[in-house]
Chain A
Amino acid sequence: MSSRTFDRETLLDLIVNAIPLAMMAFFVGVFVLYNPFGTDIANQAIQLSIVVITFSALVLLTYFSARAISNAEAELKADPEEFAEPQAAAADPSELTSSDESHGETAATGRDEHVDDESVEAEPTDEEPTDAE
Chain B
Amino acid sequence: MAGEQLALTVLMGVFLVGVVSLVSRMENLRAYAPLTSGDAGYGDSAATGHKPSGLLRWLTTVDHKDIGILYGVYATVAFVWGGLAVMLMRVELTTPALDVLGSTGVYNGLLTSHGITMLFLFGTPIIAAFSNYFIPLLIGADDMAFPRINGIAFWLLPPAALLIWAGFFLDPLTGGTVEAAQTSWVMYAPLSAEQANQGVDLMLLGLHLSGISATLGAINFIVTIFTERSPDVNWANLDIFSWTILTQSALILFAFPLLGSAIIMLLLDRNFQTAFFAVNGGSPILWQHLFWFFGHPEVYILVLPPMGLVSWILPKFSGRKLFGYKFVIYSTLAIGVLSFGVWAHHMFSTGIDPRIRASFMAVSLAIAIPSAVKTFNWIATMWNGNIRLTAPMLFCIGFVANFVIGGITGVFLAAIPIDLVLHDTYYVVGHFHWIVMGMIAFAAFGAIYYWFPIVTGKMYQKRLAKMHFWLSEIGVVITFFAMLLLGYLGMPRRYATYEFNGLIAPLSQVTTLHQVATLGAFIILFAQIIWVFNLVQSYLEGPVVETEDPWDLKETGQYSREFEWFAEQLDSTDDDAPALAADGRGEPSDD
Contact = CB atoms under 8 A, between A and B. Distances in A.
A82 B367 CA distance: 37
Main secondary structure of the interface of A (DSSP, over half): helix
Main secondary structure of the interface of B (DSSP, over half): helix
A50 B239 CA distance: 33
| Interface-central residue, A14, A71, A111, by most chain B CB under 10 Å | A111
Interface in B310-343: 319-327, 329-331, 333-334, 336-338, 340-341
Given A46-B2, A99-B232, A122-B321, 4 more contacts: A19-B369, A20-B334, A40-B2, A42-B2
Contacts of A121: 324, 326-327
B232 A103 contact: no
A50 B327 CA distance: 25
Interface in B357-392: 358-360, 362-363, 365-367, 369-370, 373, 380, 383-386
Contacts of A95: none
B354 interface: yes
Closest 9 CB pairs of A and B: A54-B341, A27-B362, A89-B321, A72-B236, A42-B2, A72-B235, A20-B366, A106-B557, A47-B355
| Interface-central residue, B236, B327, B334, B336, by most chain A CB under 10 Å | B236
Interface in B76-126: none
Contacts of A106: 555-557
A122 B235 contact: no
Nearest to A83: B232
A118 B369 contact: no
B20 interface: no
Interface stretch (B66-74, B164-172, B529-537, B558-566): B558-566
Contact of A118 (B140, B234, B321, B386): B321
Nearest to B322: A87
26 contacts: A13-B326, A17-B370, A20-B366, A31-B362, A47-B356, A50-B341, A61-B336, A62-B333, A76-B234, A83-B232, A83-B234, A84-B237, A87-B239, A102-B564, A103-B557, A104-B557, A108-B320, A109-B386, A109-B556, A109-B557, A111-B319, A112-B384, A118-B323, A118-B324, A122-B323, A122-B325
B240 interface: yes
A16 B327 CA distance: 6
Interface residues of A, number: 66
B331 A102 contact: no
Nearest to A23: B366
Contacts of B234: 72, 75-76, 83
B233 interface: yes
A114 interface: yes
Interface in A1-55: 13-14, 16-17, 19-21, 23-24, 27, 31, 35, 37, 40-48, 50-51, 53-54
Contacts of B384: 111-112, 114
Contact of A107 (B5, B380, B557, B564): B557
Contacts of A13: 326-327, 330
A98 to B, nearest CB: 9
B495 to A, nearest CB: 33
A69 interface: yes
Contacts of A73: 236
B237 A76 contact: yes
B194 interface: no
Interface string A65-104: 1101111110110000011111111000000000110111
B376 to A, nearest CB: 10
A93 to B, nearest CB: 9
| Interface-central residue, B140, B322, B341, B564, by most chain A CB under 10 Å | B341
Contact of B369 (A20, A51, A83): A20
Contacts of B362: 23-24, 27, 31, 51
A20 B372 CA distance: 11
B554 interface: yes
A87 B330 contact: no
Contacts of A103: 554, 557-560
A31 B359 contact: yes
Interface residues of B, number: 64
B353 interface: yes
Contact of B363 (A37, A51, A75, A118): A51
Contacts of A84: 140, 230, 232-233, 237, 561
Contacts of B370: 16-17, 20
Interface of A: 13-14, 16-17, 19-21, 23-24, 27, 31, 35, 37, 40-48, 50-51, 53-54, 57-58, 61-62, 65-66, 68-73, 75-76, 82-89, 99-100, 102-109, 111-112, 114-115, 118, 121-122, 124
A114 B384 CA distance: 8
A88 B556 contact: no
A94 B6 CA distance: 59
Contacts of B337: 54, 57-58, 61
A62 B330 contact: yes
A23 B358 CA distance: 13
A89 B325 contact: yes
B238 interface: yes
Nearest to B355: A47
Contacts of A89: 320-323, 325
B231 interface: yes
A50 B322 contact: no
B333 to A, nearest CB: 5
A82 B232 CA distance: 6
B502 interface: no
Given A16-B327, A111-B386, A121-B326, A86 B359 contact: no
A23 B391 CA distance: 39
Contact of B3 (A37, A41, A70, A100): A41
A48 B385 CA distance: 45
A33 B5 CA distance: 26
B552 to A, nearest CB: 12
Contact of B554 (A85, A102, A112, A118): A102
A58 B98 CA distance: 49
Contacts of B239: 87
A88 B327 CA distance: 10
Contacts of A21: 366
| Interface-central residue, B369, B384, B555, B559, by most chain A CB under 10 Å | B369
A65 B333 contact: yes
Contacts of B237: 72, 76, 83-87
